């Protein structure tokens, strides 16, 4: 008997939790080898700078370049690519960029503002928001080209007012993808380097003779990129761990409402599995009959997929169809997985929403395929993976700004605050702190 294309589980299985945890830990088990490879690449880039980046680019991307300058892609090349791509691709990129821009402009308004107020003593308190000076944008490019990720990285950065955007993306075999370059032109990045992987993350974090050191690195990538970002955190900021893609679909299996529902769900699972052998695709359904239908649809549709080998490996590694008792239980399992993308294909998705806590993005309703969010819905497609949606958020304008607190104490405020501060400072044994407050008291000084 041949091996199943995808794991089949049921929450009624005695060992369900252990099996689920084993599936979720798959990526972690591969981590040890990746961790040591990335550690040595980063150490080498820190020590040897451009020379190390050139060596790893030769090794991993098969690009022979005599100098780092040859790996910089200039504005003229970006503009030429923009002029060369088909008009309908250019129009689609521009339409997507506009929707992403609009969403993030509203997000800036709602979540990332400066504010000031006065308390009863006339003391001003508040928050000053400052965009970051220089940000590194990682754009993946190993197994596929990602023009859409350029828009998702760069547009919110521009909306937030970042000073300078340095983009890196690998060009396997030295092939520069015109749509990628055109997207960079549309998004308005300042400099582009044809480098990727841990070596590109190291170059941005530490700086080299050619690649400027950045304040923060954002953007998605494979497990090597995610590990490298985790390791350079502290040298510079990072947005989150946005590693191999994940999808979890909750579906009631109502084929009376949508006869082709099993095909829709199977293709939606493929849509993330086709990114990477380490991608994760999970279906939760209360209907065992629908689970069978989706499994059959997977078997029928897989051979028609150009990236079927990646999909098959990914489903074998981290794919599962899980039969749950009901939709409430599906929500509980989904929260435990905390997937990057959660699709809710049920009759009343908004009724389930209050139960859904942990996901990078939640796609509500049968017509909301996850892939619309990948390209053009408006919200960001750079999202937390590996369960980090429990504590991380989508990439957003808030990742490109920082906040400084503002405190402007009035003379009256100095009397009241000075007494409190003096008492607390003495209780901590910090006399200079206490004296600084006391010197400003009117009856002392
Ligand atoms: N979470 C998100 O928001 C999000 C968004 C888009 C894409 N993604 C994910 O991004 C990833 C893109 O991966 P990709 O591979 O196509 O491109 P990538 O640019 O992330 O990785 C390619 C680089 O990986 C490095 N690499 C590959 N094998 C290596 C090895 N054995 N040792 C050391 N370094 C090695 C190389 O330097 C290469 O340049 C996928 O996993 C996809 O699912 C995630
Ligand atoms: N699904 C990816 C985020 O995990 C984003 C993407 C870009 N292109 C296609 N998909
Ligand atoms: Zn995708």
Indicate whether 178 and 307 sit together in one domain: no
The catalytic residue positions are 340-341
Indicate whether 68 and 180 sit together in one domain: yes
Residue 432: inside a domain, yes or no? no
Pairing of strands 115-118, 124-131: antiparallel
Sign of CA dihedral 100, 103, 109, 110: negative
Our answer on whether the CB atom of 237 is closer than 6 Å to any ligand 1 atom is: no
Q: How far is the CA of 424 from the centre of ligand 2 (A)?
A: 52
Indicate whether 165 and 294 sit together in one domain: no
The Cα–Cα gap between 12 and 244 comes to: 29
Q: How confident is the model at residue 24 (pLDDT cuts 50, 70, 90)?
A: confident
Indicate whether 167 and 249 sit together in one domain: no
pLDDT digits (tens, 9 = 90+) for 394-425: 999 999 999 999 999 999 999 999 999 999 99
| Among the listed residues 276, 174, 180, the one whose alpha carbon sits nearest the alpha carbon of residue 224 | 276
Indicate whether 83 and 219 sit together in one domain: yes
Predicted pLDDT of residue 442: 85
pLDDT digits (tens, 9 = 90+) for 298-338: 999 999 999 999 999 999 999 999 999 999 999 999 999 99
Indicate whether 249 and 202 sit together in one domain: no
The per-residue pLDDT of the chain, averaged, comes to 96
Which residues are CB-contacts of 306 (< 8 A; sequence separation ≥ 6)? none
Final residue belonging to a domain, choices 195, 214, 239? 239
Indicate whether 59 and 195 sit together in one domain: yes
Mean pLDDT value of segment 374-386: 97
Residue 154: inside a domain, yes or no? yes
Indicate whether 177 and 273 sit together in one domain: no
Binding residues: 138, 199, 222, 245, 272, 275, 341, 374, 428, 433
pTM: 0.94
Residue 421: inside a domain, yes or no? no
Residue 79: inside a domain, yes or no? yes
The domain of 209 spans: 49-113+129-239
What is the 8-class DSSP label of residue 305? -
Q: What percent of the chain has pLDDT over 90?
A: 93
Question: What ipTM score was computed for the predicted complex, to two decimals?
Answer: 0.98
Q: How confident is the model at residue 149 (pLDDT cuts 50, 70, 90)?
A: very high
Which 3 state secondary structure label does DSSP give 35? helix
Token pair of 151 as six digits: 């828009």
Residue 406: inside a domain, yes or no? no
Number of domains into which the chain is organized: 2
Predicted pLDDT of residue 30: 64
Indicate whether 79 and 206 sit together in one domain: yes
Final residue belonging to a domain, choices 375, 390, 405? 390
Indicate whether 322 and 214 sit together in one domain: no
- Among protein residues, the one with the nearest Cα to ligand 2's atom 10 is 374
Residue 443 has pLDDT above 80, yes or no: no
Residue 416: inside a domain, yes or no? no
Predicted pLDDT of residue 229: 97
Please give the radius of gyration of the chain, using alpha carbons only, rounded to the nearest integer: 25
Biggest CA–CA distance in the chain, Å, is 91
From the CA of 246, give the closest atom in ligand 2.
4
**Contact predicate 9/16, CB 8 Å:** yes
Residue 1 has pLDDT above 80, yes or no: no
For 71, half-sphere exposure in the C-beta direction (CA atoms, 13 angstrom radius) is 32
Indicate whether 64 and 91 sit together in one domain: yes
Strands (E), 325-426: 341-345, 361-364, 401-408
Residue 355: inside a domain, yes or no? yes
CATH number of domain containing 84:
3.40.50.1980
> Among 141, 144, 148, 341, which is best to mutate for testing ligand 2, by the most ligand atoms less than 8 A from CB?
148
Q: Is 391 exposed, middle or buried (0-12, 13-18, 19+ CB in 10 A)?
A: exposed
Residue 139: inside a domain, yes or no? yes
| Among the listed residues 269, 194, 204, 270, the one whose alpha carbon sits nearest the alpha carbon of residue 233 | 204
Predicted pLDDT of residue 282: 98
pLDDT digits (tens, 9 = 90+) for 268-303: 999 999 999 999 999 999 999 999 999 999 999 999
Residue 388 has pLDDT above 90, yes or no: yes
Indicate whether 272 and 140 sit together in one domain: no
Predicted pLDDT of residue 3: 77
The Cα–Cα gap between 307 and 275 comes to: 9
Final residue belonging to a domain, choices 221, 239, 257? 239
């Amino acid at each position: 008997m041949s091996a199943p294309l995808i794991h089949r589980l049921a929450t009624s299985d005695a060992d369900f939790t252990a099996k689920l945890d084993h599936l979720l830990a798959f990526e972690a088990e591969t981590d040890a080898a990746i961790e040591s490879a990335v550690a040595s690449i980063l150490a080498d880039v820190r020590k040897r700078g451009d020379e190390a980046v050139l060596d790893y680019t030769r090794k991993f991307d098969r690009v022979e370049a005599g100098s780092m300058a040859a790996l910089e892609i200039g504005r003229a090349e970006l503009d030429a690519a923009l002029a060369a791509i088909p008009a309908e691709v250019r129009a689609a990129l521009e339409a997507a960029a506009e929707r992403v821009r609009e969403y993030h402009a509203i997000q800036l308004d709602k979540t990332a503002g400066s504010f000031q107020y006065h308390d009863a003593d006339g003391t001003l308190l508040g928050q000053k928001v400052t965009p970051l000076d220089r940000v590194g944008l990682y754009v993946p490019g190993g197994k596929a080209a990602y023009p859409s990720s350029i828009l998702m990285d760069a547009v919110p950065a521009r909306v937030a007012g970042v000073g300078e955007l340095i983009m890196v993306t690998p060009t396997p075999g030295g092939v520069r993808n015109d749509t990628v370059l055109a997207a960079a032109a549309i998004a308005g990045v300042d400099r582009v380097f044809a480098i990727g992987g841990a070596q590109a993350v190291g170059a941005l974090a530490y700086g080299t003779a050619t690649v400027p050191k950045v304040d923060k690195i954002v953007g998605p990538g494979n497990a090597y990129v995610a590990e490298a970002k985790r390791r350079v955190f502290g040298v510079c900021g990072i947005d989150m761990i946005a590693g191999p893609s994940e999808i979890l679909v909750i579906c009631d299996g109502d084929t009376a409402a949508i006869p082709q529902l099993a095909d829709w769900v199977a293709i939606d699972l493929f849509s993330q599995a086709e990114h990477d052998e380490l991608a994760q695709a999970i279906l939760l359904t209360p209907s065992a009959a629908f689970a069978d239908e989706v499994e059959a649809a997977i078997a029928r549709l897989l051979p028609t997929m150009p990236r079927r080998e990646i999909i098959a490996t990914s489903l074998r590694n981290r794919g599962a169809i899980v039969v749950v008792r009901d939709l409430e239980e599906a929500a509980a399992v989904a929260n435990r997985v905390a997937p990057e993308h959660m699709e809710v294909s049920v009759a009343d998705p908004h009724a389930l929403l209050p139960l859904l806590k942990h996901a990078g993005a939640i796609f509500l309703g049968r017509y909301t395929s996850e892939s619309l969010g990948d390209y053009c819905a408006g919200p960001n497609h750079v999202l937390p993976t590996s369960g980090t949606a429990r504590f991380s958020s989508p990439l957003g304008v808030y990742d490109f700004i920082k906040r400084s607190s503002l405190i402007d104490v009035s003379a009256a405020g100095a009397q009241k605050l000075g007494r409190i501060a003096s008492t607390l400072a003495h209780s901590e044994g910090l006399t200079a702190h206490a004296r600084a407050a006391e010197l400003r008291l009117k009856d002392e000084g």
